[in-house]
Amino acid sequence: MKISSRIVLAGAVLFGVAGAAGAPQAQAGGVVPGPGDGSAAVFITTSGAPGLTNGYTHNSTGGAVDVGQIDATHYWISFRAMGGGTYASAQLTVWNGASGPTIDPICTIDRTKDAGGDVTVWFQCTPFPSSPLAGTQLFVNVTNRLHPDTARVRAPGFVAVTTANPSAAGETPVNQYRSSGTGLATVAHTGTGLYTVTVPGGAYAWNQGTAFATALTVSPTVDPAYTRYCNPQSWYPSGTSMIVNVGCYMGIGTAADARFSLRLVGRNHLGGTQPGGSQWVSNPTSTGYDTIAYGWNSAGATNHVRSLAPWEGTGVSHVQFNGATYAPGKVPSLLVSAYGGNQRCSLEYHGYHPADLYTNATVRCYAPVGGAGVAAGRYSVSLVQL
Candidates 314, 358, 357, 316; CA nearest to 336 is 316
Distances (CA, A) of 385 to 19, 298, 322, 325, 355: 19, 10, 15, 9, 18
Report d(CA 266, CA 157) in Å as an integer. 5
Residue 156 has pLDDT above 80, yes or no: no
Cβ-Cβ contacts under 8 Å for 151 (sequence gap 6 or more) = 180
Q: Taken in order 378, 326, 17, 309, is the CA torsion positive or negative?
A: positive
The percent of residues above 70 in pLDDT, for the chain, comes to 90
Q: Three-state SS for 330?
A: coil
Residue type, 29: G
Residue type, 6: R
CB 331 within 8 A of CB 39: yes
pTM of the entire predicted model: 0.91
Distances (CA, A) of 147 to 60, 79, 81: 17, 19, 17
CB 27 within 8 A of CB 21: no
Candidates 91, 34, 19, 24; CA nearest to 58 is 24
Domain ranges of the chain: 13-145, 158-265, 276-385
DSSP letter assigned to residue 195: E
Per the prediction, the chain carries an average pLDDT of 88
Residue 25 has pLDDT above 60, yes or no: no
pLDDT: which is higher, 300 or 313: 300
Predicted local distance difference test score (pLDDT) of residue 224: 85
Residue 146 has pLDDT above 80, yes or no: no
pLDDT: which is higher, 241 or 99: 241
Residue 165 has pLDDT above 90, yes or no: yes
Which range among 57-66, 156-165, 225-234 shows the weakest confidence by mean pLDDT?
A: 156-165
Which range among 20-29, 83-92, 132-141, 207-216 shows the weakest confidence by mean pLDDT?
A: 20-29
Report d(CA 350, CA 14) in Å as an integer. 6
Rounded average pLDDT over 86-115: 93
Rounded average pLDDT over 362-381: 95
Rounded average pLDDT over 69-87: 95
Rounded average pLDDT over 83-97: 93
Predicted local distance difference test score (pLDDT) of residue 344: 97
Cβ-Cβ contacts under 8 Å for 261 (sequence gap 6 or more) = 89, 90, 91, 109, 160, 161, 162, 163, 213, 214, 216
> Exposed, middle or buried: residue 300 (CB in 10 Å: 0-12, 13-18, 19+)?
exposed
Candidates 64, 58, 69; CA nearest to 141 is 58
Cβ-Cβ contacts under 8 Å for 349 (sequence gap 6 or more) = 6, 8, 14, 361, 362
Residue type, 243: I
List, as one string, the DSSP characters of 10-70.
Answer: TT-EE------TTPPPP-SS----SS-EEEEEEEE-TTS-EEE-TT--EETTS--EEEEES
Query: pLDDT by residue (tens digit) across 102-119?
Result: 999 999 999 999 989 999
Report d(CA 300, CA 191) in Å as an integer. 40
CB 109 within 8 A of CB 15: no
Rounded average pLDDT over 134-149: 86
User: Residue 46, Cβ neighbours under 10 Å: how many?
Assistant: 11
CB 20 within 8 A of CB 51: yes
